[in-house]
Chains A and B, each alone.
Chain A
Amino acid sequence: MKKIIFLVTLIILMSGCSYKEINELAIANSIGIDYIDDKYVISAQVMDLTKSQKDNSTEENTILYIGSGDSIPDAIRDITLKYPNTLYLGHLELMIVGKGMLEEGIDKTFDYFMRSPEARNDSLLIVSDEFDAKEILNPNKESKESFPTKDIITTIENSMERNGSIEKVTFEDFVSNYLKKGMDPILPIIELSKSPTKDYKNNTIKKMALFRDKKYLGSIDSDVMIVYNTLKNNYSDIIIVENYKNSKVSSVLINPSSSYDIKIKDNKPVITFNIKVESQLIDVYEKIDLTKDKNIRELNNLLNNKMKKYVNDFVDFSIENNVDILGIKNKMYKHYKKEYDNYKNKNIYKEAKLDINVDIKLFRYGNANRNSTGGNL
């Protein structure tokens, strides 16, 4: 009997904490952080549960909650004062930093989200250098998607997997890269194209933002990002278009198995880029006889040369902007700590000898054995 009384007492006492019904919560999927007129503005996109129930439809609808304050938690509290439901950040999937916040300093967004036990740190982080986050999160009335968060996340994933110009970065990854020695962090940039006549907008994510010494420097070209993602083996397939015999030839790069490293040889750093990718021909406009070994070799060389050009552009970009997005210096710190001290304030790409090895193998030709204009395959 004593045991039963004890168990019943435990059930009553330990039934949960700060209990709230789900319809009393405003479950935020994404959050926008802006800094406008010396105030922090938080916009939270939440699921409109009441509307879905009323309409008896399965479609997800969203509401945008906006609050402002002298600090991020103050702005979040402002939302709670304006709207009936309690804002819940436990299901956060996306964080957008607006242009004002980018200028004010992205590092000011870190502390609240790192400290708060309720907020998720594994949500994706993106920035906008032209728009406020609240504009981006505002639901699109004419678009088929009424839930911009999912739209944006899918776009980021596709851009990384199929375009090679983007890297998916979580809030936690960014903070970690930000704190690492010898590494300049990057983040995807979201762009907004608005129709001047209709209430229509479209989000595109094609570029990455570059940060150095806690400051936003600018965007990174997609060619540079292709090298970055190839070296990090980040994508599944990306398309490269090249000119061959007055014709456009499209190839897809697949299965990257590249690597990069830094070594000290004769007291001098040597950076090695080993790029290894498979390639498949996917589109040929002119009658090019691909049964000839010479043509295939020429096409393969073209691809290799194009990638080498991209790598050179990548190195030039790193020297010009004095940045290290790959974290070569971080690798140096990890493997050659003593030498790192000599190079920590220098541009490693300028100082080091570069050893670039590009090996793109073109050996797949798709389904067709001839091209549609009559040339042999």
Chain B
Amino acid sequence: MNKISNTELFTVMISLFTFLFPMIGTFTILKEGNTSSLSVLILGFIFSIIPVLLIMFIGKRCKNKNIFQFNRDNFGLFGYILNFLYFIGIIFIYIVIAWTTLNFTINQLLIRNSYYTIAFIYSTILVIAVCKGKEIICRTSLILYIIFFLSVVISFSLLIPKINLENVLPIISIKPQKIFNLALLIPGYFAYPLVTLLCIKRNDIRNNNKTNKTIALAFIISSFIVFMFYFFIISTYGIELASLYVFPEYNLFKEIDVLDFIQRVENIMASTFFISAFSGVCMIIYFLKLYFKDLFKMKNKVKINATTFVIAIIVPFLSIYLFSNYNLQFLMEKYSIFSSIILITLIINFIFIKIKRVNKN
């Protein structure tokens, strides 16, 4: 089996760190955080260090086993419960990201199209990558990352003339307690999806002794990208307008106008969101695939792929059904609270490892 490199994994990590922001994170934070959103973000990144350190700690112990095998073998029944809790957390993220991605696609780009058709097409593409395995996800991610990086750099460069630094002021416009509370939501968008990396055995990564360093680097780069997006949104639009939009990043691209010649490029730039989400969502599906594979001890490749396909299709369909039939909008606003099940599981997992003294080997 081909091993994956840290560079490839780095691009997947960037996707996992950033993909939830354009869809739900930015909207929620800007709405409540006002011009203090930048302070919220910085504080939130500091809080995010805790789950990332836990993921690094647990990841180091998953040398020859993925997290499901590791928990099952070391903690027996409790291991199964832990795996189930991870599964619940990740499936919740998948439901939310599926709904918001579809909502964005249909509201902004493919108006008057069926949610189910778009969900089917999008999920099919993801499933193909997931069925091919983590090597394909990582390699695709590397290529997409180059496109993502280029479009982000070009967009930011073209938006520099639109910056009005006064729009960022006052730095503190809401109560410090509220800044603190909002910052607690950031790990939900930023760090929790990274837990999916635990389904990759460390031995499947080349130079795996450097993987934690790669995680740290991806953490820094991703926080910088997210921060720059927030900075450009607030300084270009002003918080009053920015907080009105559901997809502020998409609207930000509408502002690109070079000499009345390069303009209206928001739909091209919107591909950035799909690119940034691609490997992230693939990792989520891959995580779910391995969970079922481990739970039902599946060996047959066709069965595994069929299960993957069913999960990848059912979850977006379920999200469409739930969000369109029941008033579940509160799930978006309380996303971080619900997703904190991942943090709780990580902490319990960490305590179990410490109690059982499971070493790195």
Contact with A along B232-267 (1 / 0, CB 8 A): 000001101100100000000010000000000000
Residues of A within 8 A of B172 (CB): 337
On chain B, the number of residues with a Cβ less than 8 Å from chain A's Cβ atoms is: 19
Residues of B within 8 A of A179 (CB): 240-241, 244
CB distance from A120 to the nearest CB of B (A): 8
Q: Decide if A18 touches B244 in the complex (CB within 8 Å).
A: no
On chain A, the number of residues with a Cβ less than 8 Å from chain B's Cβ atoms is: 19
Contact A17/B241 with A117-B108, A337-B173 known, Cβ cut-off 8 Å: no
Answer whether residue B169 sits at the interface, using C-beta atoms and an 8 A cutoff: yes
Q: Decide if A176 touches B170 in the complex (CB within 8 Å).
A: no
Q: Decide if B111 touches A172 in the complex (CB within 8 Å).
A: no
Who on chain B is nearest to A331 by CB? Answer: B166
Contact with A along B82-115 (1 / 0, CB 8 A): 0000000000000000000000000111111100
Contact A176/B121 with A18-B112, A334-B169 known, Cβ cut-off 8 Å: no
Residues of B within 8 A of A337 (CB): 170, 172-173
Answer whether residue A175 sits at the interface, using C-beta atoms and an 8 A cutoff: yes
Who on chain A is nearest to B128 by CB? Answer: A6
Contact with B along A160-202 (1 / 0, CB 8 A): 0000000000001001100110000000000000000000000
Who on chain A is nearest to B105 by CB? Answer: A17
CB distance from B185 to the nearest CB of A (A): 24
Who on chain B is nearest to A327 by CB? Answer: B166
Residues of A within 8 A of B238 (CB): 176, 180
Contact with A along B152-178 (1 / 0, CB 8 A): 000000000000001001101100000
A337–B238 CA distance with the chains assembled, in angstroms: 16
Answer whether residue A335 sits at the interface, using C-beta atoms and an 8 A cutoff: yes
Q: Decide if A175 touches B241 in the complex (CB within 8 Å).
A: yes
Q: Decide if A333 touches B240 in the complex (CB within 8 Å).
A: no
Contact with A along B286-321 (1 / 0, CB 8 A): 000000000000000000000000000000000000
Q: Is the interface of A mostly helix, strand, loop or mixed?
A: helix
Q: Decide if A333 touches B170 in the complex (CB within 8 Å).
A: yes
Who on chain B is nearest to A179 by CB? Answer: B240
CB distance from A95 to the nearest CB of B (A): 16
Residues of A within 8 A of B110 (CB): 17
Who on chain A is nearest to B241 by CB? Answer: A176
CB distance from B31 to the nearest CB of A (A): 13
Residues of A within 8 A of B166 (CB): 331, 334
Q: Decide if B111 touches A18 in the complex (CB within 8 Å).
A: yes
Who on chain A is nearest to B255 by CB? Answer: A122
Residues of B within 8 A of A118 (CB): 111
In A10-41, which residues have CB < 8 Å from any B CB? Answer: 13-14, 17-18
A193–B166 CA distance with the chains assembled, in angstroms: 41
A279–B237 CA distance with the chains assembled, in angstroms: 34
Residue of B112, B121, B170, B237 touching A335 (CB-CB under 8 A): B170
Who on chain A is nearest to B250 by CB? Answer: A117
Answer whether residue A354 sits at the interface, using C-beta atoms and an 8 A cutoff: no
Residues of A within 8 A of B237 (CB): 176
CB distance from A339 to the nearest CB of B (A): 11
A114–B251 CA distance with the chains assembled, in angstroms: 11
A114–B246 CA distance with the chains assembled, in angstroms: 11
Residues of B within 8 A of A172 (CB): 241
Can you list 30 A-B pairs with a CB-CB distance of less than 8 A? A14-B121, A17-B109, A17-B110, A17-B112, A17-B113, A18-B111, A18-B112, A18-B113, A117-B107, A117-B111, A118-B111, A121-B254, A175-B241, A175-B244, A176-B237, A176-B238, A176-B240, A176-B241, A179-B240, A179-B241, A179-B244, A331-B166, A333-B170, A334-B166, A334-B169, A334-B170, A335-B170, A337-B170, A337-B172, A337-B173
Residue numbers of B with Cβ under 8 A of A are: 107-113, 121, 166, 169-170, 172-173, 237-238, 240-241, 244, 254
Closest 3 pairs between A and B when the two form their complex, measured CB to CB: A179-B240, A334-B169, A176-B241
